[in-house]
C-alpha cells in the first residue's frame, strides 16, 4: 500500500527509516519538522507499507518539496529531495512503484514536472531514472552537498546529477511503455548524442569494498560530467554494454522539443490510459 504520510507517528517512521538507510549523523538527518513542512507547504510525503502481523510496516518513503520555476511565468514543480527503501526489501521494484505513485499524485494536483538528484555512480538508479521514468539530467554539480559529517563512508561521492521528469511529455510516456500509436502522432523525443561518459562495470563492487579504484573512476566521471554541464549538455540516455560498462549519453536538451504534445493534458481518454499505466507501474 502506498499512501501519504500525514501523522506525526508516520513521519517519525520515515525519519527512523532515513537513519537506517543513510546511516548519517544527527547533523545530516532531516528531522520530522522538515517532513511536516513539506506536507504543509504544497509538497508531499509518500510511504510504502506492508501488513505484518496485523500491523503496518514502513518499507520505503519519498519526501517531495514544492518549488517555483524561475522566470515571469513561474510554475509549480515538486522536488523529490529524499527517498529510501528498507535494505531488506531492495531490488523488488518498490522504489519504481513509489516514484510512479508520486507521478500520480503530482498529476492530480496539476503538477507536470518533478525534479530530483542522484549519485551517478549508482548505476541501478541511473537505469530506473533515465530509461524507466524518462527523466533528463539537466545539470551536474560537483560536491553538491559538501562532505557529510557522517563517517559512514570515507569515499566522498558528493557529485549529483540533477534530473527533470516532464510528466506530460511523449518521451516520458514512451519510457513508461504506453501505447505509442497516440504518441507518434505528435512525435517522440529523440535527441542527437554528442558525447558519452562511461563507468567501469566494477564500480559497484569497488564502492562496497572501499577500493581506491572507485575514487579514481568517480573523479574521472566527475570531471567529464562537469565539463559537459559547462557546455550545456544534458544526460538524455543511459545504456549498459555487454561487458557491463555503463554509458551516460549526452546531448542538447530543448524543453520545447520534449513538450511538443501540449494537447495531451486536454485529451481525457489519453490521460485516463496514462493514469491507469501509472497505477500498474
How does pLDDT run across 75-134, given as a tens digit for each residue?
899 999 999 999 999 888 898 889 889 999 999 999 999 999 999 999 988 998 999 888
Q: Which residue has the cell 512525435?
A: 187
Residue 153 reports pLDDT greater than 90:
no
Q: How confident is the model at residue 257 (pLDDT cuts 50, 70, 90)?
A: low
Looking at residue 13, what is its pLDDT? 96
Contact assessment for residue 171 and residue 130, using Cβ atoms and an 8 Å cutoff = no
Cell of 149: 559529517
Residue 255 reports pLDDT greater than 90:
no
Query: Cβ of 60: how many Cβ atoms within 10 Å?
Result: 24
% of the chain at pLDDT higher than 70: 82
In this predicted model, what pLDDT tens digit does every residue of 43-75 receive, in sequence order?
999 999 998 777 889 999 999 999 998 877 778
Contact assessment for residue 160 and residue 145, using Cβ atoms and an 8 Å cutoff = yes
% of the chain at pLDDT higher than 90: 60
Q: What is the pTM of this model?
A: 0.83
Partnered with residue 276 across adjacent β-strands are none
CA-CA distance, 210 to 208, in Å (whole number)?
Answer: 6
CA distances to 5, 33, 34, 104, 216 from 40, rounded to whole Å, are: 12, 10, 10, 19, 43
Across the chain, mean pLDDT equals 84
Nearest to 103 by CA among 172, 19, 34: 172
Q: How confident is the model at residue 41 (pLDDT cuts 50, 70, 90)?
A: very high
In this predicted model, what pLDDT tens digit does every residue of 202-236 receive, in sequence order?
999 999 898 999 999 999 999 999 999 999 999 99
Amino acid at each position: 500500500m502506498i499512501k501519504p504520510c500525514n501523522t506525526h507517528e508516520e513521519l517519525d517512521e520515515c525519519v527512523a527509516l532515513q537513519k537506517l538507510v543513510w546511516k548519517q549523523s544527527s547533523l545530516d538527518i532531516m528531522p520530522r519538522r522538515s517532513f511536516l513542512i513539506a506536507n504543509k507547504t504544497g509538497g508531499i510525503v509518500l510511504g510504502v507499507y506492508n501488513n505484518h502481523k496485523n500491523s503496518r510496516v514502513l518499507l520505503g518513503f519519498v519526501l517531495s518539496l514544492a518549488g517555483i520555476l524561475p522566470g515571469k511565468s513561474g510554475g509549480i514543480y515538486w522536488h523529490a529531495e529524499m527517498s529510501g527503501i528498507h535494505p531488506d526489501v531492495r531490488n523488488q521494484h518498490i522504489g519504481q512503484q513509489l516514484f510512479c505513485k508520486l507521478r500520480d499524485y503530482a498529476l492530480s494536483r496539476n503538477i507536470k514536472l518533478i525534479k530530483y538528484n542522484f549519485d551517478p555512480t549508482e548505476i541501478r538508479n541511473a537505469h530506473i531514472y533515465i530509461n524507466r521514468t524518462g527523466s533528463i539530467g539537466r545539470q551536474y554539480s560537483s560536491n553538491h552537498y559538501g562532505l557529510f559529517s557522517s563517517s559512514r563512508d570515507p569515499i566522498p561521492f558528493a557529485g549529483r546529477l540533477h534530473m527533470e521528469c516532464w510528466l506530460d511529455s511523449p518521451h516520458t510516456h514512451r519510457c513508461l511503455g504506453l501505447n505509442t500509436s497516440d504518441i507518434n502522432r505528435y512525435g517522440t523525443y529523440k535527441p542527437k548524442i554528442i558525447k558519452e561518459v562511461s563507468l567501469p562495470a566494477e564500480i559497484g563492487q569497488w564502492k562496497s569494498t572501499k577500493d581506491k579504484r572507485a575514487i579514481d573512476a568517480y573523479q574521472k566521471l566527475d570531471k567529464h560530467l562537469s565539463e559537459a554541464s559547462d557546455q550545456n549538455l544534458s544526460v538524455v540516455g543511459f545504456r549498459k554494454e555487454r561487458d557491463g560498462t555503463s554509458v551516460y549519453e549526452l546531448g542538447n536538451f530543448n524543453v520545447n522539443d520534449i513538450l511538443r504534445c501540449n494537447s495531451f493534458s486536454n485529451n481525457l481518454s489519453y490521460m485516463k490510459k496514462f493514469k491507469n499505466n501509472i497505477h500498474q507501474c
